[in-house]
Structure 1
Amino acid sequence: MKKILLILISFFIVLNGIEIKPKNVKNANTALLILEEKNIKNPKLTFDSQNIDFYSYPNKKDKYYALIPISYYKEKKDFRIIISYIKNEKKVFKGITINVIDGKYKSETINVSKGKVTLSIKNKARVQKEYEEAMSIYKTVSPKLYLKGKFIYPINSKITSEFGTKRVYNGTLKSYHSGTDFKAKIGTEIKAVNDGIVVLSKNRFYAGNSIVIDHGQGIYSCYYHLSKLNLKIGQKVKKGEVVGLSGDTGRVTGPHLHFAFRVHGIQVDPLQLITLINKNNIY
């Protein structure tokens, strides 16, 4: 009976042409939705009021994919994803459920200078301006894809602080860790994780010297606290190219690389995203 049930479930998935990986996704992780359907146009999905485009799977006819970023603050419950496309001049709707679960992130205490926690009016204005500039970039989705092959890591080094960790600055909970920190002494070469175009290259209050690369289709990689910036805005970059040198600029307790990812404007675990994309051979 169980075998028959499994066969029926598999048949249902193939019949509807929808697959989601993983079905149970942690907050601040990314899910991959795969759609297989012949002779369709304009495939899209809606997830909790967010509209996301599908893109053609490379070298796969009638196969499409979409990345669904889950906010760190998303409720831990089931969500219904609605897929739509046009077939035979009619709009078709399909649905699938995704379960957002607790990532159970750790907590750590960090002591920094008071001026980096309690901001002056001048610094508050600077931080707000930098935030608005960054979000304007992250919410821009280029339909062109610059990625070439699988992602690499920006540096081969020990991870000193994992993504998602609750950050307690000088005894007060201020935020969660929005990236992955790699051990890196000042002057260590930091590499682009894939092809793209530089959309930000400047010094910022919290992130210090920063490089942000647009990989296309709403995917951005970020490299913070650098001691040197090798690239300028608008410059094309190849996977493995040195974007800059590690440092201790911005709000830090010591030299390291803070590596982060944004997908459709939402901050996600960079290493989980790299694993998801590489494992499924999307690019």
Structure 2
Amino acid sequence: MKKILILLSCCFIYVFGNQEIKLVKGQAIFLEFDKKNFIELKNQNQIIPTFIHPRNKNKILAIFALPYKNPPKSTKLIAIYKNKQQEIIITALEGNYKSEQIQVAKNKIFPPKNVQDRIKKEFKEANNIYTSYTSKPLYDGTFSIPLASFITSDFGKARIFNHKISSYHSGIDFRAISGTPVYAANSGIVKIAKNRYYAGNSVVIDHGLGIYSQYYHLSKINVKNGQKIKKGDLIGLSGATGRVSGPHLHFGILVAQKQVDPLDFIKKFNALFDEI
């Protein structure tokens, strides 16, 4: 029987046959299949993209992610082989996310009418990028952290702006005074390099296979849209632009069209490159 490798919190669980997997909302998992006789992986009528394991050419990988907001309670995936089908049930867990109070300028909570069109345009632009899929890897091995500092705000916290719950934290914040160098977490192509209303000076990098990294609130952008960059390249300087309470770096990872916990994803992704 074919074997599926599931990475959950960096633990390897070998699953035989049909199986239920519990996954915290806002996290991703890697599903591994034997390449021989594998045809496709489906979620209802949607085919989930797959790619070759970076260290084992006989294995196929797929990334599945749960959204933070309103995740489906249960998702059934079907792995289709030449001679059989296999069901994988993903059950969503709430996780242990906390909340935090943040004071920001009033116009960042209730934007004036003259900027609402701008916000809609920026949202549409980003969504068009994230729903596209580069079918080949652009990354170079493992991911690294873009800035060496303390984390001041974790992924998934309910953001209470000016005493009103407004959103959740879609990335992690690193403590950084304005002007601190920020480096690319991996190689790829710059898809966004501009000032945006909420995110401030922003850089978004496409790493291929539906994986994007995000760097927000920069004081300076050092790259251009469409530019090819290598892991560790200087992409900008930290700052306090956009909706912020002070200078820091917001770092995010989006995969399979879902925002996920960056640290959790990087641990799982990097584990793919461990010795087999």
Could you say whether these structures have the same fold, taking a TM-score greater than 0.5 normalized by the shorter chain as the test? yes
1:188 corresponds in structure 2 to: 180
2:52 corresponds in structure 1 to: 56
Quote the RMSD (CA, aligned, Å): 1.8
SS state of the match for residue 61, structure 1? strand
Higher helix share: 1
Change (3 A) 1:160 1:50: farther
Unmatched 5+ residue regions in structure 2?
A: 9-20
* 2:221–2:237 Cα contact (<8 Å) kept: yes
Deviation, structure 1 residue 126: 0.9
- Cα distance between partner residues in 2 of 1:32 and 1:126: 36
The 5-angstrom pairing of residues 50-129 of structure 1 reads: 51-75=47-71, 77-85=73-81, 87=82, 92-129=84-121
* 1:57–1:282 Cα contact (<8 Å) kept: no
Offset from partner CA, 1:82-106 (integer Å, 9 cap, x none): 1225x3xx7x532112222111210
Question: For the pair shown, which has the larger CA radius of gyration, 1 or 2?
Answer: 1
Deviation, structure 1 residue 282: 8.1
- Cα distance between partner residues in 1 of 2:268 and 2:178: 31
Deviation, structure 1 residue 74: 3.9
The sequence identity of aligned pairs, in percent, is 43
1:30 corresponds in structure 2 to: 28
2:3 corresponds in structure 1 to: 17
- Cα distance between partner residues in 2 of 1:131 and 1:50: 24
* 2:99–2:160 Cα contact (<8 Å) kept: yes
SS state of the match for residue 277, structure 1? helix
Deviation, structure 1 residue 39: 4.2
Query: Equivalent of 1:45, from 38, 42, 49?
Result: 42
1:272 has 2:268 as partner: no
Deviation, structure 1 residue 49: 6.2
Change (3 A) 1:176 1:282: farther
* 2:38–2:80 Cα contact (<8 Å) kept: no
* 2:54–2:272 Cα contact (<8 Å) kept: no
Query: Equivalent of 1:142, from 134, 140, 143?
Result: 134
Which amino acid in structure 1 is aligned with residue 238 of structure 2? S
Change (3 A) 1:40 1:98: closer
What is the number of equivalent residue pairs in this alignment?
263
Give the TM-score taking structure 1 as reference length: 0.88
The 5-angstrom pairing of residues 192-231 of structure 1 reads: 192-231=184-223
Change (3 A) 1:56 1:126: same
1:151 corresponds in structure 2 to: 143
Change (3 A) 1:104 1:216: same
Which amino acid in structure 2 is aligned with residue 177 of structure 1? H
Change (3 A) 1:221 1:102: same
Change (3 A) 1:236 1:37: closer
Which amino acid in structure 2 is aligned with residue 167 of structure 1? R
- Cα distance between partner residues in 1 of 2:122 and 2:96: 30
Give the TM-score taking structure 2 as reference length: 0.90
